[in-house]
Structure 1
Amino acid sequence: MLTRLSIRNVVLIEALDLDFAGGLGVLTGETGAGKSILLDALGLVLGDRADSGLVRAGEDQASVTASFEFTRLPDVVKAALAEAEVDVEPGEPLILKRRVKADGGSKAFINDQPVGVALLRELAPALVELHGQHDDRGLVNPRGHRALLDRYCGGDAAGVDLAWREWRTRVEALAAAHAALDQAAADRDLIVAHLAELAALEPAEGEEEELASARADMQKGERLSGDLAELQHLWAGSDSALAALRGAARRLDRIAPEHPLLAEALAALDRAVIEASEAEDRLARAAEALSHDPAMLDRIETRLFDLRAAARKHHCTVDELPAKMRSLRAALDAIEGGDADLAALEAAAAKAGEDYRAKAEALSATRQAAAGKLDAAVAAELAPLKLDAAKFRTSVNPLPEDRWGPSGIDAVEFLISTNPGADFAPLAKIASGGELSRFILALKVALAEQGGAATVIFDEIDRGVGGAVASAIGERLARLASGGQLLAVTHSPQVAARGSQHYMIAKSSEGTVTRTSVVLLDSAGRQEEIARMLSGAEVTAEARAQADRLLEGV
């Protein structure tokens, strides 16, 4: 609920700090004292359009701060704050602030964290519900009537919402499958042709690297063939250098025992023969590895060209061609087996649709039954509010299937008829300002147990009525305020006497400076203000006595 409202430099208000409590708070004062300024200030901090005309003359900026406290933060508020990444600790007050500059610029804050004004507007319906002479929101707006009836009847609106989302998900999956199959069928001949080409090619992962390496070796062999042949000739035949070394080793072996140096020479020659033999072996192996086969080189180059051409055609690398083959086979299998998958998706979508319809029809039946009960509850409140000739009806009408949605299959709207025999029509189109406020009060009383905004404000709901009707309004406002918070701007002493807190709004002038102030009245102050409301400009003893009787009567 609203616990504190701080206003700085808003029109006639220089500085004002108001503390509020639960229950019924009434705000009174003479006409033109500035009650509308308070509501404008509260509207500003709740996201209304920033008007530079609100800034007090001669000041650079105006500001309004509203503090709200909750035992448990409303889910809709918690979700909106989480999405906006605004941190509010459990048990911590929710503090909204708005600053408006004289040039029209504005800034918004929640718990000292900068936010967009749109977030204030999003939170406003859960924080404050305002009903006034020209109310075009809240209970008057038919867009919220269905949700109000659902809360009243206790139907499974959440289940219908979930069923709708499941149905939509299934329908979208089916549509996507149809589109995919249609596209795949259109591409079937192309897929078959591509698959046949790749199957004939039989690409393998790593093949490109192996072929490129083999081709490079052959190209080197072609370039080195002359040198290799000449080197092999040096090592081959009886007149080669290696043959000469071996011959020298045999002759030296026969005379080596004759002198130690000859034995050492033989050992060195044997090592040379061994090294030369290894060189001969490696030369032969190199010649074999680098052998140049023109036919084989041509086959390798042709294979590389075919693989790379296929990769370019399919916009992938050569090593990705096997995976491309697998994906084409999968696409072909999907086309050939798509009917079975499609049948399963169609069955799932049909089942989800039946589930949604069943839940929505059950909710619709619950709404129809609750509508009659709500009509009766509102009707019981109309006569005491001097609306005994009026009738209230909750219209629950089926929607065409193309307008079904997460809220079900019904259109819900609150309608009234103000005169016998007159047609029923929307609240805002039929009722006058005073009638509209009393209709809203009757509806609020009927819906009292169904929750709503943390703070409810009625602006001059008692305009144009008095006596027993004003007393009935005061009694109902007090009943609505029990266990919650309701603020009423009123000109009726009967309503004012019902308040658990009474604020008096006054305007004063000093020279050319005019100020609006608000005072929380004590018992004596309440008696005097109610007496003023009863008697007018001059407060009489009789008016004070009547004020006492009103206060004692509540």
Structure 2
Amino acid sequence: MLSALSIRDVVLIDRLDLNFGQGLTVLTGETGAGKSILLDSLGLALGARADSGLVRAGQDQASVTAFFTPELTHPAFGLLMEQGLGAEEDIVIRRIVNRDGRSRAFVNDQPVSAGLLRRLAALLVEVQGQHDQIGLADPAAHGPLLDTFGVDLVVTDGVVSVWRRWRDRLAALDRARKAMAEAQRDEEWLRHAVNELTDLAAEPGEEEALAQARHAMQQAARRAEAIAAALSEIAPRERRNPGPGAALRAAARSLQRLLPSSLSAEAEQDNPLSPALAAIDRAEEAIAEAETLLSRLSQEVEADPRELERAEERLFGLRAAARKHSVTVAELSLLRDRLAERLAALDTGSAHLTELETAAAADRLAFIAAAKHLSVARQKAAKELQAAIMAELPPLRLDKTRFVAEITDLPESAWSARGVEQVQFLIATNPGQTPGAIDKIASGGELSRLMLALKLVLSRGSPVGTLIFDEVDSGIGGATAAAVGERLARLSHDIQLLTVTHSPQVAARGQAHLRVAKAVDGGRSATRVEPLTGAARREEVARMLAGEEVTEAARAAADSLLGNAA
């Protein structure tokens, strides 16, 4: 529901704050007083095209703020949540237009695009004017409106459910066909890759194990080389290099020639050469011990170069395969399994495709059956809707108008979750005329009254809480205007209604009455809006009946209308 409207500096309006309640609110006033400016202002807040001409002369910008209080279950809150715009209880829409024509829009003080503003406004307000129909004139809305009017929700939900299942099955079938085609296209490469990876037989963790083993063998080879080099120095195999042991023995023999052939033990100890000979003996023993130790170590750390070569070859092979397929070595086995599955699909894919095709065909038949059930329900609902609308037309001076809820089959390419047909509301305003689109056949006044009849019958089919009629009573009077007023009052029991009217019969039906007038303030014209009650309202209705000069007869007639409305 539109609870309030605040307008600043729009054309003839300098400052205006209006509050609205439930039921029917009528806006009256003389031609040119500014009633259309009110609707233009509201339209601006609802996302209409911004125009610099709307800015009041002498001002830099115009602004309109509309306050709405929909129910917490209203879809407008869902849209706001979807867009990340929080809303607790109220929805406040503000639009600002600058003198250069540029505009800004805000919802709950957060900037939004004009497109989002229009989407939100379409959920909150419908405007039915002589030349600007929003809502019921849109053919896209006719099917949902008919379903809401007379089709059980279980039937429509059943069609949606079967449709989604069929669509999901077709999507799975399409994926399977693409996978099959891709596998067939790559069959030769797949077989080669699977055989190659199978022969490679990469194991989990193998790369790390091989790298560690390779490092250990490389270390062992370096140790073996060092030990062998040390042994070659201590005990060389070449005769040209006798080694340190032979050198020590030769040195000992040279010193021993200086000693007499026989010496006592005491004399040998006193001989100055004895310590040197003893040192040579110890050195020779140490070299012999070192040779023994190194020989033992060489046997313990002996590295097999063929093992190192095999490890390196395996490691390089794994890494080359990983680079070739753009994966890690650890992923080679998984890659082999995936490629093998694709290859196996060539053998099992045909059977799987057949299963999916059979299931999709069954889903299609199930959808057609559910859609036919929906079609039967729609045909019944269409007849009931036509009868209900036709019953409303004669009192609205549309007795020659024929309303048709046409249901036509759609090609399979246009089937949807809404079924296999299109629903469109058509009218013919003259006998013998072929029914056509509502907004193409009816004139301005006829269109507004037809929309009133449609809305009266279909009001429960829309989430919109506020409906605005701009001169729905144009070109009529007397009993027809009274019928329009009665229907507006009846419709206002279920929805908030605002209507601009020149008809006293309609004005008398309002639960709230606003008079729009033009006043001159400081040499400048300004539009003012005054709530009317009691004697002031009686005087306004009498003016609408009599014109400029209000007579007592007009006042009496106004009392009669207001009394009947009460």
In structure 1, the residue matched to 2:38 is: 38
- 1:99 matched to 2:96? The reply is yes
- 1:182 matched to 2:181? The reply is yes
In structure 1, the residue matched to 2:524 is: 513
Structure 1 pair 195–73 and aligned structure 2 pair: CA distance change class (3 A): closer
CA deviation profile, 1:328-350 (whole Å, cap 9, x unmatched) = 22222233222333233224323
1:215 CA displacement: 4.6
1:471 CA displacement: 0.4
1:230 CA displacement: 5.0
Say which SS state the counterpart of residue 138 (structure 1) adopts.
coil
Structure 1 pair 385–42 and aligned structure 2 pair: CA distance change class (3 A): same
What residue ranges of structure 2 are gaps of 5+ in the alignment?
237-243, 246-284
Contact 1:394/1:415 (8 A) holds in 2: yes
Aligned-partner residue type, residue 189 of structure 1 = E
Structure 1 pair 42–285 and aligned structure 2 pair: CA distance change class (3 A): farther
1:459 CA displacement: 0.6
Give runs of aligned pairs for residues 364-383 of structure 1, distance below 5 A: 364-383=375-394
In structure 1, the residue matched to 2:539 is: 528
Which is further off, 505-514 or 344-353? 344-353
Aligned-partner residue type, residue 468 of structure 1 = A
- 1:415 matched to 2:415? The reply is no
Alignment root-mean-square deviation, CA: 2.8
Aligned-partner residue type, residue 289 of structure 1 = V
Give runs of aligned pairs for residues 70-149 of structure 1, distance below 5 A: 70-74=70-74, 76-89=75-88, 92-149=89-146
Contact 1:232/1:284 (8 A) holds in 2: no
Structure 1 distance, partners of 2:173, 2:14, is 64
1:181 CA displacement: 1.0
Q: Which is greater in Rg?
A: 2
Aligned-partner residue type, residue 358 of structure 1 = A
Aligned-partner residue type, residue 84 of structure 1 = Q
Aligned-partner residue type, residue 177 of structure 1 = A
Contact 1:42/1:66 (8 A) holds in 2: yes
CA deviation profile, 1:166-219 (whole Å, cap 9, x unmatched) = 321211111011100111122122111122222223333344444445555555
CA deviation profile, 1:23-69 (whole Å, cap 9, x unmatched) = 11110000111111111111111111111211111111111111111
Contact 1:107/1:114 (8 A) holds in 2: yes
In structure 2, the residue matched to 1:444 is: 455
Contact 1:208/1:319 (8 A) holds in 2: yes
Structure 1 pair 10–73 and aligned structure 2 pair: CA distance change class (3 A): farther
In structure 2, the residue matched to 1:291 is: 303
Contact 1:220/1:290 (8 A) holds in 2: no
- 1:169 matched to 2:165? The reply is no
Contact 2:148/2:460 (8 A) holds in 1: no
In the superposition, the TM-score normalised over structure 1's length comes to 0.87
Structure 2 distance, partners of 1:441, 1:277, is 120
Contact 2:202/2:333 (8 A) holds in 1: yes
Contact 1:8/1:14 (8 A) holds in 2: yes
Say which SS state the counterpart of residue 419 (structure 1) adopts.
coil
- 1:4 matched to 2:4? The reply is yes
Structure 1 pair 342–522 and aligned structure 2 pair: CA distance change class (3 A): same
Structure 2 distance, partners of 1:287, 1:111, is 87
Contact 2:402/2:429 (8 A) holds in 1: yes
In the superposition, the TM-score normalised over structure 2's length comes to 0.85
Structure 2 distance, partners of 1:223, 1:553, is 116
In structure 2, the residue matched to 1:191 is: 190
In structure 2, the residue matched to 1:262 is: none
Structure 2 distance, partners of 1:395, 1:285, is 102
1:306 CA displacement: 3.0
Structure 1 pair 375–306 and aligned structure 2 pair: CA distance change class (3 A): same
Structure 1 distance, partners of 2:228, 2:298, is 11
Structure 1 pair 148–231 and aligned structure 2 pair: CA distance change class (3 A): same
Contact 1:62/1:99 (8 A) holds in 2: yes
Aligned partner of 1:318 among 325, 329, 334: 329
Structure 1 distance, partners of 2:324, 2:401, is 79
Contact 1:133/1:459 (8 A) holds in 2: yes
1:224 CA displacement: 5.5
Contact 1:80/1:119 (8 A) holds in 2: no
Contact 1:228/1:287 (8 A) holds in 2: no
Structure 1 pair 398–228 and aligned structure 2 pair: CA distance change class (3 A): same
Aligned-partner residue type, residue 53 of structure 2 = G
Contact 2:235/2:291 (8 A) holds in 1: no
Aligned residues: 518
Contact 1:221/1:292 (8 A) holds in 2: no
How high is the sequence identity, in percent, across the aligned residues?
49
What residue ranges of structure 1 are gaps of 5+ in the alignment?
241-272
Say which SS state the counterpart of residue 21 (structure 1) adopts.
coil
Structure 2 distance, partners of 1:488, 1:25, is 6
Aligned partner of 2:467 among 456, 459, 472: 456
In structure 1, the residue matched to 2:346 is: 335
Contact 1:490/1:496 (8 A) holds in 2: yes
Structure 2 distance, partners of 1:445, 1:219, is 93
Structure 1 distance, partners of 2:477, 2:458, is 25
In structure 1, the residue matched to 2:564 is: 553
Contact 2:223/2:301 (8 A) holds in 1: no
- 1:404 matched to 2:415? The reply is yes
1:160 CA displacement: 2.4
Structure 1 pair 111–303 and aligned structure 2 pair: CA distance change class (3 A): closer
Structure 2 distance, partners of 1:281, 1:480, is 113
